[in-house]
Amino acid sequence: MATEADPRPRTPLSRERVLRAAVALADEHGLRALTMRRLAEELGAEAMSLYYHVAKKEDVLDGIVDAVAQEINEAVARVHPPEGWKAAVRQRILTAREVFLRHPWAPELFETRSSKSLAVLRYYDALVGLMREGGFSYDLVHHSLHALGSRALGFSQELFDPSESADAPPDALAELAGQLPNLVGMLSEIAHDDPDSTLGWCDDQEEFEFGLDIILDGLDRLR
């Protein structure tokens, strides 16, 4: 009900509204900021009122995986696939990546929760369908999904956790050159300086497409 101080009617809470607010909160402040109390504040509600729509924080996390996966499915449905299985799969994956770039916190969450999401499974089902139409056997599709790993969804799992060395002094590489000459030589030359295309330490667009194309080219030869 509207109050004398604020005559505008309040938008009632719903599960969909709670999850939309959770996604927006994570987009603006990161996944670590997503707490039930903070979410209630964003919605202008009491924290206890959220539990009528989401059972607990784990339910919120599962729900926003579904929400992002549904956004991916809607995005790929709007794009007319090009001819050929490889071009169609590549476009589908890169379209999914565009959604992740709008929600850079999401890969971390998908790594732990994607198997529970029907929306994610629908994405994979359509991907398998594209490969089957391209002449892949189910056995080769299965191998292909293992080879693609998280790239099938549009992001690369990181080999190293850069947060572990975030506090290292600037000259740390130089100090390790005697022990790790090849790694230090490589790291002193490479740079990932395009934050708008980056989902992780080394997961920028150039690196992602490089790895994706190598895998797709190899799968095409196997096909």
- What is the predicted pLDDT for the residue at 125? 96
pLDDT digits over 126-142, tens only?
999 999 999 999 999 99
pLDDT digits over 66-117, tens only?
999 999 999 999 999 899 999 999 999 999 999 999 999 999 999 888 667 8
What is the spatial distance between Cα 31 and Cα 22, in angstroms, rounded to a whole number? 9
**pLDDT above 90: percentage of residues in the chain:** 67
- What is the predicted pLDDT for the residue at 73? 98
Among residues 134, 140, 149, which one has the least CA distance to residue 222? 140
C-alpha pair distances (Å), 112 with each of 60, 61, 62, 79, 194: 14, 10, 10, 28, 26
Sequence-separated (6 or more) residues with CB below 8 Å from residue 35? 57
- What is the predicted pLDDT for the residue at 166? 45
- What is the predicted pLDDT for the residue at 1? 46
What is the spatial distance between Cα 149 and Cα 62, in angstroms, rounded to a whole number? 20
Do 57 and 35 meet the contact criterion of CB atoms below 8 Å apart?
yes
